[in-house]
Amino acid sequence: MQFDLTEDQALVLQTARDFAAREIEPKAAELDRTARWPTEIVERMAELGFMGLAIPTEYGGAGLDNVTYALVMEEISRACASSGVIMSVNNSLFCDPLYKFGTEWQKKEILTPTAQGRILGAFGLTEPASGSDARTMKTVCERQGDGSFLLNGSKNFITVGPHAEHIIVFAISAPHPEKPKHTALIVKKDMPGFQVANHDEKMGIRAAHSSTIFFDNVKVPKEYVLGEEGNAFKIAMITLDGGRIGIAAQALGIAKAAIDRSIAYSKERKAFGGVIAGLQAIQFMIADMIVEYEAARLLTLRAASMKDKGVKHTSESAMAKLLASEACTRICHKAIQIHGGYGYISEYAVERHYRDARITELYEGTSEIQRIVIAANALRG
């Protein structure tokens, strides 16, 4: 395996690291406290080409690879997990499926400005009554005589939803008690009947607004159908394969921030006649944190590399997300322990990292779903 970064990858990584340290990290605590949408950060990420990193330049993207995308995602999330997931949704959950399955018109008119970051996109799969069990969704779309679809239902926990120009919505187009067929629609926010609720008040990633979105007889023209009618479940699953790489990278960024702060704190905090970095109990926790982080990082970059090669990476993406997200939670738990009582107050950033970490085990497939995916692929032979 090749572990060295190319010259271009190293350059983009350094650019992301400098940008995150200079322009994002100083605002992270305020964004978390106020739950303010980070408009200026999103605009700067667009200027740097981070909103469509792996999309070809002809469609507004940066024309880079998915390894670079994972590296940048980690750096942005290390500074602010909210900013990281905004970038992730636009790249992984909107631009990627639009590039893979969209028509030429959709790529020119919708993908291009989204990859440029001039507008944003979101992904609508989860519903109030169907989270992990996506096959039980209730949202429906009915084909009309002119080829358009009439969309009714709702989607919830839609990250970037309140700010997205378009949302890829998955709906049942052919009801069946056991094997319904689904169709993906690109729904524009100004289509009549499209309604966005107030953004959710969340435990973590508070500046990355999510919301419930309602569709009341929304007429979606046939030009806005993504991929083949009735084949949307496949689109959703392929999209999530790639999306999980982004969330794994987000978890890595949060974990690295917690590790860095724990090491710095342990060298300053004095107890029992010296700094706590000299205590074996602290050293063992830091060692475990680093090992888990490095292992998860290798899995994440492997999955990203496989995606770049165009080979199937369903299990590998699931493994990366599973290990990275759960390791992130454990690492942030240890970071709180190392900081002691100070780790429990908002003045210290590890408290924020701990809250931000938890969502990485939930969205884009819970840890339990990742285990099902991994086991199913292994047992399939």
What's the CATH number where 275 sits? 1.20.140.10
Specify if 1 maps to a domain. Answer: no
CATH code, 91: 1.10.540.10
Q: 336-369, pLDDT tens digit by residue? A: 999 999 999 999 999 999 999 999 999 999 999 9
Total of domains in the chain: 3
70 has a pLDDT exceeding 80: yes
Predicted local distance difference test score (pLDDT) of residue 1: 63
The domain boundary, picked from 115, 139, 162, lies at 115
Q: Are 364 and 244 in contact (CB under 8 A)?
A: yes
We report the CATH number of the domain holding residue 205 as 2.40.110.10
Do 88 and 157 fall into the same domain? no
Task: Indicate which residues carry an active-site annotation.
Answer: 364
239 and 224 in a common domain: no
Q: Are 71 and 16 in contact (CB under 8 A)?
A: yes
Residues contacting residue 144 through CB under 8 Å, at least 6 positions apart: 150, 219
Q: What is the pLDDT of residue 133?
A: 86
Residue 375 lies in a domain: yes
Asked if 310 and 179 sit in the same domain, the reply is: no
Asked if residue 157 belongs to a domain, the reply is: yes
Please say which residue of 92, 115, 138 terminates a domain.
115
What is the Cα–Cα distance from 15 to 38, expressed in whole angstroms?
Answer: 19
58 vs 99, 282, 377, CA distance in Å?
11, 51, 36
Do 138 and 105 fall within a single domain?
Answer: no
Residue 135: predicted pLDDT: 80
Q: Could you list the residue range(s) of the whole structural domain that residue 96 is in?
A: 7-115
Q: Is residue 322 scored above 90 in pLDDT?
A: yes
At 134, the pLDDT band (50, 70, 90 cuts) reads: confident
d(CA 26, CA 305): 32
Does residue 12 lie in a domain region?
yes
Positive or negative CA dihedral for 14, 20, 22, 23?
Answer: positive
Residues 65 and 176 in one domain: no
Are 313 and 176 contained in the same domain?
no
105 and 197, same domain (yes or no): no
Question: Residues 168-196: what's their mean pLDDT?
Answer: 96
pLDDT at 381 over 80: no
The residues that bridge with 195 in the sheet, in sequence order, are 214
Considering the domain architecture, whether residues 245 and 364 belong to the same structural domain is answered as: yes
Question: Is 162 in the same domain as 259?
Answer: no
Residue finishing a domain among 212, 230, 248 = 230
